[in-house]
Structure 1
């Protein structure tokens, strides 16, 4: 499976000719959707879903009910091709096995209402297959080991110790930093340094610029 980092929390997964895009939000170039076969969206915040991006393509979208409601209001032509998913669902999305994980966004502040959020465990079988976990805006671990964790590193709901502990808990051999638009390069360098200092042997944290692949 080819894993390509794009703007902020967006990744593009390609396997056996199928292209799956996760969380093409407002900080992501819409070109990420060129050639896509399907889209997954974790939750309704603009940095994870941008209706204008989805209007520019006719691919099917899998997402939670809260996102479907937002799209029904703002882009009904997109909502007509949405499949609503629920925690625990197991799906076949363009030949890739997808499991829906978790239900709530991380706490930003106790005074705010909680948002719904579901992560996705994507698995590709056969030669070159990999398992990849995108948690959205949550620190809910996947139900089983994965090859690649897409690890949030900067957010109003996250501090670096929590990011490190989440990478440790999941224990994926490779953790790719995502959700990174909030920090400057200096801040992201600090996160990478803490990851290097605090992760146990056998766990690697990597950063990629938009358009770059994970090895």
Structure 2
């Protein structure tokens, strides 16, 4: 059985057969998830997607753990003491195997916050040809996906864009992410709009530590 779990904000884990893949363990998330990570994917180098010191500590504590991310992520982690041979740079269009899951890299640019704010490289990850995490972007994967993790609150985003993103990708299941800056009423509003207007058959908000079987 495959299990998807939210760890807050943009951090998600995918578990199967005792293996754990973690995506975007940042400073707004419950970072205990990296203690059991067999592999980590990082979309870009912003702190809410990459908590550098805890991730380095986890990689050191788990000799088999591997991490993939854009070059800026890899540079930052190596400078902080991450094991060089287990931290891998990726660009768009690659296929890797992480914690036993096939992963395709899609997209390359962070969404624009403001012309005065630099845009880091941002890699989206298609896991198991079924679950797509875009990071801080609205990248269309270009293939059918079962689960789409959809940012619903960010300095670069308005909800109309999130709604149109869901409509464009047409996933079976939407899981809202990237919402640490929202109040509870704000989460409720985003759920009503994105869930109600996006058109996905299932809109599945996960609390921190809450899991579901995306296939069941």
TM-score of the superposed pair, with normalisation by structure 1: 0.91
- Contact 1:121 1:132 (8 Å CA) reproduced: yes
- Contact 1:99 1:122 (8 Å CA) reproduced: yes
Aligned to 1:35: 36
Aligned residues, how many? 207
Q: Partners in 2 of 1:51 and 1:42 — Cα distance?
A: 13
- Contact 1:68 1:84 (8 Å CA) reproduced: yes
SS in 2 for 1:176: strand
Aligned to 1:191: 190
Shift of 1:178: 0.5
Q: Partners in 1 of 2:84 and 2:26 — Cα distance?
A: 16
Alpha-carbon RMSD: 1.4
2:78 pairs with one of 72, 79, 90: 72
- Contact 1:8 1:179 (8 Å CA) reproduced: yes
Q: Return closer, same or farther for 1:57/1:196 CA change in 2, 3 Å cut-off.
A: closer
Q: Partners in 1 of 2:84 and 2:54 — Cα distance?
A: 13
1:209 pairs with one of 198, 207, 210: 207
Runs of 4+ in structure 1 displaced over 4 angstroms?
none
The question of 1:110 aligning with 2:109 is answered no
Shift of 1:143: 2.5
- Contact 2:66 2:98 (8 Å CA) reproduced: no
Shift of 1:71: 1.8
